[in-house]
């Protein structure tokens, strides 16, 4: 067979395009920084001042005293609290979220933001390009026409191709630089209601007031600068913040473009510090080898480890399968793993020794630890930890515990599918 010059040129072009595509995909799968490779050993307990010192100086912003934190459960509590704060804004609104979809909730938030923009309050909205694909462009145009600065994070453009796998998963609302919200909730009708059926998800969200709100504002600014190149300054965004409560807190962030392993290390330090209890609510629980080792070491020290994950009602079945593939060693070491039954379980909460609480957008999986931009609120307060433990134990009443025997004797086809899913865990 003899090829014509045109066929040779066409083949060369196709080969070049394939090479470019493979390179782009490879760059998206590559880790931008050297990963943590060694076990994090138990040194300090959570109530040891040295533990707080390490989390403040080794990993992130300082732990600040004087915060007031409130938790809200499910959309019936969460959305009214967020909308009340938006409608009461006088100086600024900064809002970053992964999911913003059209529907009744999307419309209500858009209307509240637009009303404040009409009242000359500066409003900045940052939504993830992937997470906002179900957002009606009418809402975007209405917001922009009202004077809202709305941007999408890492839209599909040629200069973002090597970062298209890096999404902002952060869920941050900061009003007047004084009131902050974070948690698991997206702006979509699935989060409305009270987790009463399969159409209404179970989730938690949190409001913070006090000095640590400035750190949440800084977390928003981090991605706003990346998306726009603009800097928002002044007392409308960073007012003086007086102590308002008794909780110590810090807003902790991670991103693959800087500190890719920071969130993972924070969790490893927290788990390795435990001497009594670790309670984990995780919508996506696909722990890597290091996380498994630290949790198993904690179990060997006599720490009670309880985990709540979604049951069969889950929005991403492959994640559930990859998660179940990893449970064997944890169950054998004595961990208690429970699947939530009524609806999709989307909570993201860690409680250690009844003192340290970490809440926010982060899941226990590689995507959160190394691919997404995430933000968590860490709270050091026994009263807050007790309140969230009561919520955790209320959720336990609606779960089915998975025993080691049940896990070992699950059908062979399930094992095959779970192990196949686990092979993709670096992207889940």
Give me the active site residues, please.
169, 171, 176, 346, 348, 353
SS3 262: helix
CA distance 186 to 257: 24
Structure tokens at 350: 């860690």
SS3 92: coil
CA distance 221 to 39: 33
Structure tokens at 374: 């995430």
Do 72 and 207 touch, CB atoms closer than 8 A?
yes
Strands 123-128 and 149-153, bridge-based pairing? parallel
β-pair partners for 97: 127
Cα 350–chain centre separation: 12
DSSP state of 389: H
Choose among 227, 233, 235: nearest CA to 127.
227
CA distance 151 to 225: 11
CA distance 155 to 161: 9
Cα 98–chain centre separation: 9
β-pair partners for 202: 345
CA distance 330 to 334: 6
Do 37 and 360 touch, CB atoms closer than 8 A?
no
């Amino acid at each position: 067979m003899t090829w014509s010059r045109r066929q040779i040129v066409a083949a060369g072009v196709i080969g070049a395009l394939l090479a470019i595509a493979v390179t782009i995909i490879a760059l998206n799968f590559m880790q931008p920084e050297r990963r943590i490779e060694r076990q994090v050993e138990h040194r300090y307990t959570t109530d040891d001042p040295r533990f707080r010192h390490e989390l403040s100086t080794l990993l992130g912003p300082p732990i600040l005293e004087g915060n007031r934190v409130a938790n809200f459960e499910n959309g019936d509590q969460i959305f009214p609290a967020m909308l009340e704060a938006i409608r009461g804004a006088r100086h600024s609104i900064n809002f970053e979220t992964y999911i913003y979809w059209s529907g009744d909730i999307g419309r209500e938030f858009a209307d509240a933001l637009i009303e404040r923009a009409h009242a000359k309050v500066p409003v900045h909205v940052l939504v993830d390009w992937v997470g906002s694909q179900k957002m009606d462009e009418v809402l975007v145009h209405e917001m922009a026409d009202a004077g809202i600065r709305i941007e999408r994070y890492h839209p599909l453009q040629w200069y973002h191709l090597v970062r298209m796998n890096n999404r902002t998963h952060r869920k941050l609302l900061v009003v007047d630089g004084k009131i902050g919200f974070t948690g698991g909730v997206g702006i979509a009708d699935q989060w409305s209601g009270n987790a009463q059926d399969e159409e209404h998800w179970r989730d938690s969200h949190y409001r913070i007031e006090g000095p640590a709100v400035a750190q949440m504002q800084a977390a928003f600014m981090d991605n706003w600068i990346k998306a726009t190149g603009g800097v928002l300054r002044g007392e409308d965004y960073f007012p003086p913040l007086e102590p308002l409560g008794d909780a110590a807190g810090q807003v902790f962030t991670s991103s693959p473009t800087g500190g890719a392993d920071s969130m993972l290390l924070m969790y490893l330090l927290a788990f390795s510090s435990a001497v009594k209890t670790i309670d984990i609510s995780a919508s996506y629980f696909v722990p890597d080898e290091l996380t498994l080792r630290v949790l198993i070491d904690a179990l060997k020290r006599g720490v009670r480890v309880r985990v709540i994950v979604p049951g069969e009602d889950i929005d991403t079945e492959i994640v559930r399968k990859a998660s179940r593939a990893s449970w064997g060693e944890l169950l054998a070491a004595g961990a208690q793993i429970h699947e939530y039954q009524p609806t999709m379980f989307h909570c993201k909460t860690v409680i250690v020794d009844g003192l340290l609480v970490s809440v926010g957008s982060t899941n226990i999986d590689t995507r959160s630890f190394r691919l997404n931009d995430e933000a968590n609120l860490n709270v050091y307060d026994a009263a807050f930890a007790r309140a969230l433990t009561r919520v955790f134990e209320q959720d336990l009443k609606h779960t089915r515990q998975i025993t080691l025997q049940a896990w070992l004797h699950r059908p062979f086809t399930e094992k095959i599918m779970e192990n196949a899913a686990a092979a993709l865990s670096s992207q889940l």
